[in-house]
Every structure is written in C-alpha cells, then in structure tokens.
C-alpha cells in the first residue's frame, strides 16, 4: 500500500504575486531534505506538497526529515487509493487497523477537492462512517469529541486516507528571505537564535571566533558539532572560523580591564560585518538577551552595534533563559551547548565589566590599538568549514 505525506503550506499561502517564488523555494528545500533518506518524488498541487514514499523506503525517517522543513503548517501521513467508496473503505480499515481497534468513538471527515466526485463531502463521510460502524460495532459515532477522526481527502487523481495532521515546523522556507551571518559561540543562546531566524526564511552563514591556545581544539569541535545539528533545520551552512587570539591579547595589553569585553565585542561585530557582506548576507544574527550579561545591556549593545553597517537581528532579546533553554532542548542543541569547553568570550574576562559604556571613552581606548591592522590580519586567517 503506497504511502504519501500531504504537507500543507504555512503562511506563504498569504503571499501575493510573489507567492510562486516562496513555493519554489519550499519545494527545493523539501526535495533536498528528503534526499538524505530516500528518493521521494515531491510535487505541489493546490497548495499541498505531496511527498511520495517509494516501496521499501523508511517512511518514519522521511517523516522525521519533513518535520524539520520550515514553511510547512502541517503534515499528514496518508495512504493512497482509488477514488471510489469501496476503495476508501478498504483502505481505512487496513491502513488504520490499529487505531480502529483501540478507539471507542469515531467520526469521518471528508474534504472533496475534486468537485466532480459524485457524492458531497458529507455524503462520503456518512457512507464510510456507517459502513465502519456496522463492521466494527465497538466504534460509536461521536461528532464532537471522538477518540479517532478518520480523514478522507478526494483530490484530482486519487483519494487519501489518514488519521489527522501532525504539526509542521511552521515559519517560512529557508532562503526565501535572503541570507544572514550567525555569530555562533559554544553557548546555549546563539544556536537558538540561528534556528529562530532560519524559521523566518533566512539562509545562514556561521561565524565563530577561536582563540587558541586560550580556547582548546575541543571547544572548536563543539561549535562545529552545534553547526551540524543546526543543519538539520537550516540545510547546508558554511562556518567561518576567525582567529581571535592576537586581537584579545592586544586588548589585554593596551586597554583598561573594565572595557575588555565591550571592545572585544566591537571587534567581533566589525569582523562579522565585513565577512557577512563578502558572503552576500543582508544582516547579522546574535544570541543576545537584554540584561543577561554585562555586554547585553542596552548601552553596551548600542556601543557594539555602532561599528556595523548591516542590521543586527537579536531574536532572543526579550526572552529569559528558561525560554531559551526550552527551545535548545527542542532542537537538540542543549546537551552539546553545555559541554564544559570554554569559548573566547570567557578569555580575559574583567572582574568588574562596564555595563554602561560611554562611546567616547571606548573610542579613546581603541585609539591605542592598530584596529585596521588587527582586523585585516584576522580576516586573512579565516578558515571556512562546510556543515551539512
């Protein structure tokens, strides 16, 4: 019995003349994703994406991949049959055998996309429901709160039978709204920020700052592992590893301790802004949450963002740690993020960081640094690693 996934589009159905662009991106993303586990034909008809599962393919694995594709509101795992009442009845009994055996109440809901089908939606539901009740007397008809709802969809070529939709990933297709650079540390927040902006249709380029020997090779591997987990949702993602040791040592040797963190962040934003532009990105993404640490106060973010030409997206800005951790667990990055390997943000951390930095004082402190030279040296040493 052939199975298919009926994937209902999300908010892209509200688009106007450019809707086709979003749909094409979604189809391409879906094809690329399911190709990891099976050779599944994918087609779009009447705002529904059909993912046909070939014989012998692992349907559970295909479904798991499809669940991570942004742009889908819901997914129905269904069986395909001929457009006849007898075929629909037989398919429902066979395909939903376990559900029918365990339920005590049920109803049938029909959607008739093919208006040439001789019976109305209500007529199909009444016929199938009546036959099932006769054949399975333990099933009691219940129209309001049934244990089992059997869904029948009658479309152009075939009918489909399933037990209802599962939620899709939501959002918009990755890449439909452009590309942005994610400042990816080894912590909990930045992978969540990348996930949330990818859900809004952004393709990601990762940027990681590496301060060997103050940070270990294991810390670098941890970040690449986080990038690998993110690719399950965002697809292929280049990660740019930026050598940051020389910059941090220069800040340590020439600047007041209380300004170490804020000046370090300004260098990160400068470098990210340059790298993002060179990779065709239209913005930067950070995992900042207002007031979470010293560099994430409103004055501090104003000073660090001042060096950027590109817009800075901060999707976690109004979230508390518990909310962020909940999403990190959902996307499977949490356990990797809490591995005890340091990142460069913990190097030369001041005892009493300035939480209300003044831009003029920061600019004066930076005047003792060869800013342009340090930036160019770091850019010359960037290493690109492809995840996914």
Residues 146 and 200 in one domain: no
- Report d(CA 357, CA 343) in Å as an integer: 23
Of 103-117, 153-167, 251-265, 348-362, the poorest mean pLDDT is in: 348-362
Domain containing 237: what range?
179-387
Count of structural domains within the chain = 2
Residue 62 sits in the same domain as residue 121: yes
Residues 337 and 380 in one domain: yes
Same domain, 133 and 188: no
In a domain, residue 173? The reply is no
Residue 350 clears pLDDT 80, i.e. is over it:
no
Q: Which residues of 163-180 are buried (b: 16+ CB within 10 A; e: fewer)?
A: bebeebbebbbbbbbebb
Is residue 137 in a domain? yes
- State whether 124 and 18 are in the same domain: yes
Give the lowest-confidence range in 51-65, 91-105, 185-199, 330-344.
330-344
pLDDT at 348 over 80: no
SS (H, E, C) the chain: CCEEEEEEECHHHHCCCCHHHHHHHHHHHHHHHHCCCCCCCEEEECCEEEEEECCCCCHHHHHHHHHCCCCEEEEEEEEEECCCHHHHHHHHHHHCHHHHHHCCEEEEEEEECCCCCCCCHHHHHHHHHHHHHHHCCCCEECCCCCCEEEEEEECCCCEEEECCCEECCCCECCCCCCEEEEECCCCCHHHHHHHHHHCECCEEEEEEEECCCCCCHHHHHHHHHHHHHHHHHHCCEEEEEEECHHHHHHHHHHCCHHHHHHHHHHHHHHHHHHHHHHCCCCCEECCCCCCCCHHHCHHHHHHHHCCCCCCEECCCCCCCHHHHHHHHHHCCCHHHHCCCCCCHHHCCCCCCCCCCCCHHHHHHHHCCCCHHHHHHHHHHCCEEEEEC
Q: Is residue 366 part of a domain?
A: yes
Query: Per the domain annotation, does 324 fall within a domain?
Result: yes
Cα–Cα distance for residue pair 225/244, rounded to 1 Å: 20
Q: Which tokens hold the place of 89?
A: 């009845």
- Does 323 share its domain with 378? yes
Q: Is residue 299 part of a domain?
A: yes
How do residues 167-177 score in pLDDT, each as one tens digit? 999 999 999 99
CATH number at residue 215: 3.40.50.620
**245 and 154 fall within a common domain:** no
Give pLDDT tens digits for 200-241. Answer: 999 999 999 999 888 888 889 999 999 999 999 999 999 999
pLDDT higher than threshold 80 for residue 329: yes
Average pLDDT, the chain: 94
| Domain co-membership, 71 together with 209 | no
pLDDT, average across residues 300-307: 95
In the chain, the percentage of residues whose pLDDT exceeds 90 is 86
Confirm whether 106 is domain-assigned: yes
18 and 138 share one domain? yes
Point out the domain boundary residue: 109, 142, 167. 167
pLDDT for 271 beyond 80: yes
Domain end (from 126, 145, 167): 167
Q: For 55, how many CA atoms within 13 A lie in the half-sphere containing its CB?
A: 1
Pick the last residue of a domain from 167, 196, 215: 167
Per mean pLDDT, which of 308-317, 338-347, 355-364 is the most reliable?
A: 308-317
Whether residue 172 lies inside any domain: the answer is no
| pLDDT, tens digit (0-9, with 9 covering 90-100), for 143-158 | 999 999 999 999 988 9
- Residue 289 maps to a domain: yes
Flag whether pLDDT at 81 surpasses 80: yes
Q: Are residues 189 and 297 in the same domain?
A: yes
Tell me: do 190 and 121 sit in the same domain: no
pLDDT value at residue 340: 82
State the CATH number of the domain containing residue 27. 3.30.2130.30
Q: How confident is the model at residue 345 (pLDDT cuts 50, 70, 90)?
A: low
Mean pLDDT along residues 25-29: 96
User: Would the pLDDT of 341 be above 80?
Assistant: no
Rounded Cα gap, residues 256 and 270, in angstroms: 20
- Shared domain check, 144 and 78: yes
């Amino acid at each position: 019995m052939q199975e298919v996934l009926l994937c209902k589009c999300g908010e892209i159905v509200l688009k106007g003349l450019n809707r086709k662009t979003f749909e094409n991106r979604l189809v391409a993303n879906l094809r690329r994703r399911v190709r990891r586990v099976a050779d599944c034909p994918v087609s779009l008809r009447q705002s529904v994406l059909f993912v046909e599962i070939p014989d012998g393919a692992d349907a559970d694995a295909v479904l798991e991949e499809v669940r991570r594709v942004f742009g889908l509101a819901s997914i129905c795992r269904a069986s395909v049959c001929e457009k006849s009442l007898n075929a629909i009845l037989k398919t429902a009994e066979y395909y939903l055998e376990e559900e029918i055996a365990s339920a005590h109440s049920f109803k049938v809901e029909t959607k008739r996309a093919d208006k040439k089908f001789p019976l109305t939606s209500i007529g199909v539901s009444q016929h199938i429901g009546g036959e099932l009740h006769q054949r399975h007397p333990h099933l009691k008809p219940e129209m309001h709160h049934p244990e089992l709802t059997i869904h029948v969809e009658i479309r152009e070529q075939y009918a489909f039978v399933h037990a209802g939709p599962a939620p899709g990933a939501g959002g918009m297709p990755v890449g439909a709204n452009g590309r942005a650079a994610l400042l990816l540390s080894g912590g909990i927040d930045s992978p969540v920020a990348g996930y949330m902006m990818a859900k809004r249709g952004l393709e990601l380029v990762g940027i990681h700052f590496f301060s060997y020997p103050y940070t270990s090779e294991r810390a670098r591997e941890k970040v690449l592992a986080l990038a690998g987990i993110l690719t399950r949702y965002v697809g292929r993602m280049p990660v740019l590893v930026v050598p940051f040791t020389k910059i941090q040592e220069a800040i340590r040797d020439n600047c007041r301790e209380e300004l170490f963190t804020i000046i370090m962040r300004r260098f990160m934003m400068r470098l990210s802004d340059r790298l993002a532009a060179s990779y065709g990105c239209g913005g930067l993404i950070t995992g900042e949450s207002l007031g979470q640490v010293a560099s994430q106060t409103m004055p501090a973010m104003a000073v660090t963002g001042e060096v950027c030409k590109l817009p800075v997206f901060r999707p976690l800005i109004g979230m508390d740690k518990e909310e962020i951790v909940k999403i990190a667990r959902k996307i499977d990055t949490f356990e990797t993020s809490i591995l005890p390997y340091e990142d460069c943000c913990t190097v030369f951390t001041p005892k009493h960081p300035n939480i209300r930095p003044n831009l003029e004082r920061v600019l004066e402190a930076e005047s003792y640094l060869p800013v342009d030279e340090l930036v160019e040296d770091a850019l010359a040493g960037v290493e690109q690693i492809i995840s996914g």
